[in-house]
């Protein structure tokens, strides 16, 4: 199971349809384990209540969870913890949700994750707002919410309720090899004009300026939307999330699409990339066949088997389109991933919330990073840990942004819109079968179809 499927897996249509048709909801009427709240026990955990944790056994494995469980057991030695790990999350847990007997904590991830739209619409998830307002484990004077990196709460919120803790943290941007750039005397471009000028130089040196996974062309939608948001401001992205009419035809979106379409028109994409999957494109990039790649911060871990020792991969923000962009160059897309939930009908909701609080401690978060080579959504939890060049550059990206991370939600609210419609439109755009204006029209038509479909639950991002 690749890191990509781990972080971005989706349930099959049959699973999603079944979830949407089953009654799984209700408030936390299954929560029978309640203790007395105190300064030492702010969430009111019943100290001897059993706790059941189910982990997705993918690229991160399950050992990190066993470490978190040990930390929980240190705090509540009378509690018996039942641990399970599976790659078949939906197949294993869907009957238990329907039967009103779900676990207390679920790592709802992987290709067979339970459909979030179905879970949310059936009120099957505990609102984690109480966790956000609880004191952090490390400093009682600091709330848990104030220990989290930007984008963590946004990506786990539905209709204003924080329902999913996305524990891992992914930064998205443009990747390049510091070794290659130093050898050639190239500087990463901060503006789009500089990008095009450098692409011309790179091509003249016999290297493809860009590669991309043509079989998953949505990867190239990420810099387009990021550039549009930086140009026009966060309201442009919120309009996309809210399926507003003509949102994808906004002048900022069109300008960004035209900019990245120029890569295809000017011959700056690696020949044959349209037939590559993500591993093939990333491997070509690691072998020095291309200079730039759009990806997230899981890239270093995913490519560790084929990355040359002296490659020194690094991530950078999408270049500014103009000197009048509303967001600074340093702004980047950053968001939590790897979702954890506490079912509304869990028998030990208090314990489930406390388990997440343990995960969000500095020790819990740093242990995770050491074990799986991925950052968490806890601010500064990677400090003092020896990181690879890629993750080191990610931490530098976060610091340089000075809190300027942003994200979008349409891929979470309406997963098929990105996975099928935008993916297909990008495949056409970067093979020049449609132009940028047609791309905007095509994606807008798809968004309008989603907006008009009464069977699809709609979400409003404020």
pLDDT, one tens digit per residue, over 323-348 is 999 999 999 999 888 899 999 999 99
State the CATH number of the domain containing residue 140: 3.40.190.10
DSSP assigned state of 250: S
pLDDT at 6 over 60: no
Q: Are residues 70 and 96 in the same domain?
A: yes
457 belongs to a structural domain: no
Please, which pLDDT band fits residue 18 given cuts at 50, 70 and 90?
Answer: very low
110 or 76: which leads in pLDDT: 76
Nearest CA-CA partner of 333 in 398, 402, 424, 426: 398
The H or E element that residue 178 is part of is helix 178-184
Q: What pLDDT does residue 7 have? A: 40
Sequence-separated (6 or more) residues with CB below 8 Å from residue 20: 115, 117, 118, 121
Among 347, 362, 391, which residue terminates a domain? 391
pLDDT digits (tens, 9 = 90+) for 155-183: 899 888 999 999 998 899 999 999 999 99
Give tens-digit pLDDT for 192-202.
999 999 999 99
Confidence at residue 298, expressed as pLDDT on a 0 to 100 scale: 85
pLDDT of 23 strictly over 80: no
Q: Check whether residue 186 and residue 317 sit in a common domain.
A: yes
In a domain, 156, yes or no: yes
Query: Is residue 417 assigned to a domain?
Result: yes
> Same domain for 298 and 384?
no
Furthest-apart CA atoms within the chain: distance in Å: 70
pLDDT attached to residue 1? 37
The reply to whether 162 and 101 lie within a common domain is yes
Shared domain for 20 and 58, answered yes or no, is: yes
Non-local (6+) Cβ contacts of 452 within 8 A are: none
At residue 149, the pLDDT reads 87
Pair (189, 228) in one structural domain: yes
End-to-end CA distance of the chain: 36
Residue 12 confidence (pLDDT) above 70: no
**Most confident range, picked from 35-39, 236-240, 367-371:** 236-240
CB-CB contact of 307 with 179 (8 Å): no
Span 269-291, pLDDT tens digits? 999 999 999 999 999 999 999 99
Q: Name the pLDDT band for 30 (thresholds 50, 70, 90).
A: low
Quote the percentage of the chain above a pLDDT of 90. 77
> Does 234 lie in the same domain as 123?
no
378-420 confidence digits (pLDDT tens):
998 888 899 999 999 999 999 999 989 999 999 888 888 998 9
Domain count, the chain: 2
Strands (E), 153-217: 157-158, 161-162, 165-177, 208-210
How far is the C-alpha of 266 from the C-alpha of 196, rounded, in Å? 9
108 and 25 within one domain = yes
Burial of 187 (0-12, 13-18, 19+ CB in 10 A): exposed
Q: 364: Cβ–Cβ under 8 A, 6 or more apart, which residues?
A: 67, 68, 71, 137, 358, 378
Cβ(401)–Cβ(394) under 8 Å?
no
pLDDT given for residue 381 in this prediction:
87
- Give yes or no for residue 358 having a pLDDT over 80: yes
- Tell whether the model's pLDDT for residue 125 goes beyond 90: yes
d(Cα 62, Cα 83) in Å, to the nearest integer?
10
Hey, which of 24-28, 100-104, 120-124 has the most confident mean pLDDT?
Answer: 100-104
36 burial type by CB count under 10 A (0-12 exposed, 13-18 middle, 19+ buried): exposed
Mean pLDDT of the chain: 91
Does pTM surpass 0.85? Answer: no
Residue 396 lies in a domain: no
Nearest to 315 by CA among 124, 174, 112: 174
Reply yes or no on whether the pLDDT at 28 is more than 60.
no
Kindly state whether residues 118 and 180 are assigned to the same domain. Answer: no
* Domain annotation covers residue 376: yes
Among candidates 455, 425, 408, which has minimal Cα distance to 20? 455
What sign has the CA pseudo-torsion 458, 162, 112, 150? positive
Q: Which domain holds residue 87?
A: 3-170+335-391
How far is residue 262's CA from residue 274's CA, in Å, rounded to a whole number? 16
Residue 177 within any structural domain of the chain: yes
Both 148 and 201 in one domain: the answer is: no
Residue 262's pLDDT band, with cuts at 50, 70 and 90, is very high
């Amino acid at each position: 199971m690749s890191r990509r499927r781990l972080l971005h897996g989706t349930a099959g249509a049959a699973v999603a349809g079944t979830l949407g048709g089953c009654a799984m909801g209700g408030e936390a009427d299954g929560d029978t384990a309640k203790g007395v709240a105190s300064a030492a026990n702010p969430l009111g955990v019943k100290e001897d209540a059993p706790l059941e944790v189910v982990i997705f056994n993918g690229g991160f494995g399950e050992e990190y969870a066993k470490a978190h469980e040990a930390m929980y057991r240190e705090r509540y030695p009378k509690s018996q913890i039942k641990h399970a790990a599976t790659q078949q999350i939906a197949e294993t847990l869907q009957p238990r949700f329907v039967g009103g007997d779900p676990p207390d904590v679920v790592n709802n991830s992987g290709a067979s994750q339970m459909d979030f739209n179905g879970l949310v619409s059936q009120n099957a998830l505990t609102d984690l707002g109480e966790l956000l307002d609880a004191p952090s484990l490390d400093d009682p004077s600091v709330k848990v919410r104030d220990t989290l990196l930007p984008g963590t709460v946004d990506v786990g919120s539905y209709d204003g309720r924080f329902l999913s803790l996305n524990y891992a943290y992914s930064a998205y941007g443009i990747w390049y090899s510091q070794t290659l750039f130093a050898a050639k005397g190239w500087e990463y471009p901060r503006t789009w004009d500089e990008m095009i000028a450098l692409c011309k130089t790179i091509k003249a040196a016999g290297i493809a300026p860009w590669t991309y996974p043509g079989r998953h062309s949505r990867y190239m939608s990420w810099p387009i939307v990021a550039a549009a948001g930086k140009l026009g401001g966060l309201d442009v992205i919120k309009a996309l999330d809210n399926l507003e009419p003509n949102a994808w035809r906004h002048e900022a979106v069109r300008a960004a699409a035209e900019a990245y379409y120029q890569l295809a028109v000017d011959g700056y994409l690696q020949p044959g990339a349209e037939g590559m999957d993500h591993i093939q494109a990333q491997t070509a990039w690691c072998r020095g066949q291309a200079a730039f790649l759009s990806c997230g911060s899981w890239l270093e871990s995913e490519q560790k088997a084929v990355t040359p020792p002296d490659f020194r991969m690094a991530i950078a923000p999408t270049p500014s389109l103009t000197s009048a962009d509303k967001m600074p160059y340093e702004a980047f897309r950053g968001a939590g991933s790897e979702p954890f939930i506490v079912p509304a009908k869990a028998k030990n909701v208090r314990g489930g919330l406390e388990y997440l609080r343990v995960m969000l401690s500095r020790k819990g978060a740093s242990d995770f990073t050491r074990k799986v080579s991925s950052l968490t959504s806890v601010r500064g939890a990677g400090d003092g840990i020896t990181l690879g060049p890629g993750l080191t550059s990610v931490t530098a990206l976060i610091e340089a942004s000075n809190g300027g991370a942003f994200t979008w939600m349409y891929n979470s609210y309406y997963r098929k819109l990105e996975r099928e419609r935008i993916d297909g439109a990008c495949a056409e755009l970067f093979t020049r079968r449609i132009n940028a204006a047609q791309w905007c029209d095509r994606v807008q038509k798809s968004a309008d179809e989603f907006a008009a479909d009464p069977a699809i639950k709609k979400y409003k991002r404020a």
